[in-house]
Structure formats: structure tokens, C-alpha cells
Amino acid sequence: MEDILINWSPQETRVAVVENGAVQELHIERALERGLVGNVYLGKVARVLPGMQSAFIDIGLERAAFLHVADLHQPGQNGGAHVGAATPVVPIEKRLFEGQALTVQVIKDPIGTKGARLSSQISLAGRMLVHLPGDEHIGISQKIGSPEARELLRERMQQLVGTRENGGGGGFILRTNAEEASDEELAADIAYLRKTWATIRERAQSLPAGSLLHEDLNLAQRVLRDLVGDRTGTIRIDSRLQFEALQRFGQQYMAGSAAKLAHYEGERPIFDLHNIDAEIDRALDRRVDLKSGGYLVFDQTEAMTTIDVNTGAFVGARNFDDTIFKTNLEAAGAIARQLRLRNLGGIVIVDFIDMAREEHRQAVLAELRKYLARDRVKTAVGGFTPLGLLELTRKRTRESLSRMLCEPCPTCQGRGQVKTARSVCYDILREILREARQFSAKEFRIVAAAEVVEMLLDEESQHLAGLSDFIGRPISLTAEPGNRTESYDIVLI
């Protein structure tokens, strides 16, 4: 069983999924970073531009939003948000007029002086499905299985969706995580999405133009929709106000999940119960220590994430092969947990300690797959390569924890290393030589970090004096305590 802890504050919502006392997943959402994408508004056409086949729509924001004809749902359009080549496009001036009320959805946030970009093709995302109320099309993600598997899913969906004549209908797209969903799970998602759309329509009939009809779910609401399952014990939230709001939302859309809600009233901060803040700090480190004395090293790059397994201080009790095997077994469970905790996606390469016996490799592989089976994010594990590396892929769903909470180091710009003071000294000497050949100055003044100036006056003083004699100009030094090692200026006097 797992518990979900929600720590709410006006500036940030943090969610931790805890299983057997250990944090398995972390989700963070900051109020200032929430965009408008997915929000549905009742807009009013402010201006139609036939020459650009677009229109400006007032949705109650500071700047009018932009709607292009390609994002305007066409009559008879079926199975997609954009007009296909075979569909005759009705000019925008024949579809819209100034002052017209129109239900629209934000598909791109405002940037700089540009307003938001809109679409009149509404799409509502659920846990496993995307609902297209204006369509009658059942779409299946191309990433799901074989063509035969997709066709079976489509037939199941058609039975569940029904037709408009019998109170059903509407377009739906199955997301990749719907591949192994049961009929009950799909039916629950269909009911939730239809209820959401019905609420939007009711609000559109009662509210004035420029009103917000539907706001994309916040993190606490997405917990009820996406994270709660049969293995969930309780969902504890430390804000009375948010608890009541979440309870109202849950009772309206997903009563089963809402029944697991509880308000945490303890004096200790809710994340202190399982030392979660310290766990977040550890999840930002490269090194992860194992209980046996071994350790893992994580390196996240643009192309992939690499994980190195080391025995460290673990010497074992029997023989070297068993020591390696036990370390790799422990590492397999820790790696699966860290992938979820850090939300690492894309290609992952694991360098387990080399194992001589094939049965050991298969046991480690089985252990890793067992722990990864608990992951909500789709993960595919390959076998060991001829070099002994293990390859796996994990679907990217959001930014990793480190990318969300951290930024590149201002000193090294994300390289993870800086030049030595001696290297900077030599850079400075070469730069002075270049400057002396281009400009006629009476003196060259070096402004650099204290450790660089100290080295130029001590160990590199002979080279500095030699350069001064060679160019025939004096060279003076000024130390700037606030300067970084690599930062320097050469002033021509």
C-alpha cells in the first residue's frame, strides 16, 4: 500500500508518494509557473482578418488572443484538431463575425507582446483518454502495440462510448498508458470527461463572454485523477481550505478517490513525517549510497542518463562473485526508485558491476523489472549489451526533479568544472600578447580573481616579467575579490 502526502502553500504545491515509509515519487507545481494552456474560455470575436485568415478573440486577458483558421473547427471535420488536405476549408470571414461568442481553448501561452493562441477544437485530457467533444472519432496512439492490438482497443472503446442517439458519442483518443487499462478504468475516464464537458457547456450558457469556463487541473486535483489507484491507502493534505476544495472536486467527478482524502492536522509539517525534504536534497546529488556500502552515480545529459554501480565499502562475506551479485541486486531496487523519484526519462544506461555468471545477470534483470512494474510511467527494459551495459527507456512526462529545482551553476555554466588558476594565467598572458599587437597602449592592467593575481605575482612572475619586456610595456595587477576564477579583464591605459 502507498500513501500520498500533499503539502500546500500559496506559492507551491508538493506531492509525495510514500510506500513502506520510503518516498517513491515527487511532484511539484509552482503557482507562478502555471500557464494557461488547456484552459477553456467563452471568448468574443474582437476582429476578423480575412487577409491573414485569422481573428483576434477577447477572452478576458490583458491582450486579445489569436485564432487561425487552421485551429477553427470546420463543419463536418472528423478526427483531429486541424483541417486535413481533403477537407474544404471554409474561409474564416464566413464563419466568424465581430461580437460573436465562441468557446475556445488556449493551445499556446502568451509570450512577450503576443497574445495566447487559441483553438475552437476543444480537447479535454483524462487519465488515459483525451476527449474531443466535437468529433465522433476513436483514435489510438501509434505507440500502442501492434495494428491488431490497436484495432481491438478501438472496438472496445466503440462499445464503451456508444452513439449520441443512446446518450453517448463524442471523440476519444487513447493515450499510451491506456494500453493495459480495464473496461472499468476506461469507462470511469469517459464518465469524468463527459461530466467535465457538460459543466463547460452549462457555464457557457450562463456566463458572459470573456469568462473562464474550465481551468486545467492543478496538481492536487491531478492527484485524484492520475495517482490514486487500488494500492492507495490515504491522501493526506495539510491545508483545510484545499482539503475542502479537493473534497468538493472529488465528490463531483471521482467519488472513489475522494473517499481516501484526509485533512492532516498535526503540528509537525507533513513532509517531516517521512523526512521528505532531506530526501529531495539527496535526490539532487549525483551519488546515492546503498545500505550495503555500495553506491550509485547518476549523470543526466541531454542525450541520456547514465548510472554507474560501484561496490564501494561493501566487501561481502563469502566470495567476490557473491559480493558483486548482492550489490547489483540491491542497486536494481534503488535504481527503479531513483528513476521515479528523480523523474528521469528518455534513454537510461546502467553500468552494473560485471557479472561472470549468466544466472546472476538474469536475476538482476528480473529484480529491476519487478520494481519498475510499480512505476506509473511506461518503461521498457532491454537486456544486457555485449559490453555488459543495461539499456532501458522511460517515457518523458515532465521535467526531471533537478531541472525543475535547479539551474546551471553560474561559475561553471553547467560544465561541472572550472579552469585552474594557472590555466587562467596563461589565457591572460596570451590575451595581452594579442592586444599588444593590435593596440598601442602605455600600460596593460590585469583585473582578475585574487588567486589568479597571487599566482601571477608568485609562481608565474618570471613569465609575466618576460612578457612585459617582450612587448615593451608595463603590466600592472588588480585583484577583485568578487571575481570568479575564470573571469578577468585586461584594461588598456
Sequence length of the chain is: 493
pLDDT computed for residue 79 by the predictor: 43
- Residues ≥6 apart with Cβ < 8 Å to 308: 296, 297, 299, 351
In angstroms, the CA 95 to CA 102 distance is 11
Could you give the angle at which helices 183-206 and 240-253 cross, rounded to 10 degrees? Answer: 110
- Residue 170 CA to residue 201 CA, distance in Å, equals 14
Amino acid identity, position 334: A
Amino acid at 242: Q
Can you give the pLDDT at residue 177?
73
Give the CA distances from residue 461 to residues 367, 425, 447, 450, 452, in Å, rounded to whole numbers and listed in that order. Answer: 60, 10, 16, 15, 11
Cα separation, 42 vs 275, in Å, equals: 45
C-alpha grid cell for residue 317? 562475506
Q: Which residues contact 379 (CB under 8 A, 6 or more apart)?
A: 339, 372, 392, 393, 394, 395
| Rounded Cα–Cα distance for residues 252 and 258 (Å) | 9
Structure confidence at residue 198 (pLDDT)? 93
What kind and span of H or E run contains 43? strand 40-49
Which residue pairs from 97-100 have beta carbons closer than 8 angstroms and sit at least 24 positions apart in sequence? 97/45, 97/48, 98/45, 98/46, 98/47, 98/48, 99/44, 99/45, 100/44, 100/45
pTM listed for this prediction: 0.74
Q: 316, 350 in Cβ contact below 8 A?
A: no
CA end-to-end span of the chain, whole Å?
73
Burial of 54 (0-12, 13-18, 19+ CB in 10 A): buried
Per DSSP, the residues of 82-94 read S--TTSPPPPGGG
Residue in the structure block whose three cell numbers are 468538493: 248
pLDDT in tens, the chain (493 residues): 899 999 999 999 999 999 988 999 999 998 877 888 889 999 999 999 999 999 999 999 889 999 999 998 765 554 444 444 445 678 999 999 999 999 999 998 887 778 899 999 999 988 889 999 988 888 887 777 778 888 888 888 888 888 776 767 789 998 877 777 888 889 888 999 999 999 999 999 999 999 999 988 899 998 998 888 888 999 999 999 999 999 999 888 888 888 999 999 998 999 998 899 999 999 999 999 998 888 999 998 888 999 999 987 666 556 778 888 999 999 999 999 999 999 998 999 999 999 888 999 999 999 999 999 988 888 999 889 888 899 999 988 778 899 889 888 887 777 788 899 999 999 999 999 999 988 888 999 999 999 999 999 999 999 999 999 999 999 999 998 878 888 999 999 8
Among 406, 308, 295, residue whose Cα is nearest residue 351? 308
pLDDT value of residue 407: 85
Short-list 215, 177, 227, CA closest to 27: 227
The torsion defined by the Cα of 431, 436, 439 and 441, in degrees rounded to 10, comes to 110
289-295: Cβ within 8 A, 24+ apart? 290/314, 290/327, 290/330, 290/331, 290/334, 291/330, 292/326, 292/327, 292/330, 294/327, 294/330, 294/331
- Please classify residue 111 by burial: count the beta carbons closer than 10 Å to its beta carbon, then call 0-12 exposed, 13-18 middle and 19+ buried: exposed
**Residue (of 370, 307, 383) closest to 338 by Cα position:** 307
Instruction: Give CA–CA dist 212/8, Å, rounded.
Output: 24
| pLDDT at res. 459 | 92
| Rg, the chain, Cα only | 30
Residues 6+ apart with CB under 8 A from 465: none
User: What are residue 298's phi and psi, to 5 degrees?
Assistant: -105, 130
